[in-house]
Structure 1
């Protein structure tokens, strides 16, 4: 069963580029990615560009409306994701807890609806 792990954090929370902590933080992501690849559960995953690059699109009464920034105005923003193929929710939660940003923000785990 596939699960998506949505990684939420405030952009200024946790280790920042240019600090001594940033290198080990990024290495933790490389190690985690290698772990889920080696376990054969990684389907995909990527980091996202900063929220300043986001554009939200909606269509109302046939008119396309664009808004700079993410849809939700919250402290924590979606920063990346992993899609994992796990035997069950418990296994997905075990892997989600190992995502480095779980220490600084939150990781939302949801089953992926697969259409045949």
Structure 2
């Protein structure tokens, strides 16, 4: 999983021209993933203000609307890819447009069959 972190404020304040450049870069990157056969899924996320954080404490559900943490970068989207190995996944992350303006976190999926076989 490639988790994309960007500065929401910078994205929201980008000029129309810059936004079009960014969208074109993501379009080309997505097409490259699809052409290679690595692409499984991916999407952009709405800003943190549109979300909520849900936690259980003492049997009660606590809901906090909007952003939970005040951080420089926020989770903005994801790509789920199929890679031969972790190094290949990191190479794809380095090609993601967000790698030049934010952070792309690479996280292997922990399939439950893997977990159960470890027990």
Question: Comparing both chains, which one has the higher relative contact order based on Cα–Cα distances under 8 Å and sequence gaps of 6 or more?
Answer: 1
Per-residue Cα deviation, 1:41-91 (whole angstroms, up to 9, x for no partner): 111111000111011001111111100123433111000000111001111
Q: Residues 29 and 99 of structure 1 are in contact (CA less than 8 Å); yes or no, is this contact kept in structure 2?
A: yes
| Alignment gaps of 5+ in structure 2 | 114-119
Distance 2:2 2:13 in 1: 22
Return structure 1 stretches of 4+ with deviation > 4 angstroms: 14-18
Q: TM-score, normalised by structure 2?
A: 0.87
Deviation at 1:102, TM superposition (A): 0.9
Is 1:36 the counterpart of 2:19? The answer is no
In structure 1, the residue matched to 2:107 is 110
Matched, 1:13 2:10: yes
Which 10-residue stretch deviates more, 6-15 or 82-91?
Answer: 6-15
Structure label with greater radius of gyration: 2
Aligned CA distance change for structure 1 residues 16 and 27 (closer, same or farther; 3 Å)? farther
How many pairs were matched up? 113
Greater share of residues in helix: 2
Identify which range, 59-68 or 18-27, moves more after superposition. 18-27
Given that 1:13 and 1:104 are in contact with CA atoms closer than 8 Å, whether structure 2 keeps it comes out as no
Which of the two has greater strand per residue?
1
Counterpart secondary structure, 1:111: coil
TM-align CA RMSD: 1.6
Unpaired runs of at least 5, structure 1: none
Normalising by structure 1, what TM-score?
0.89
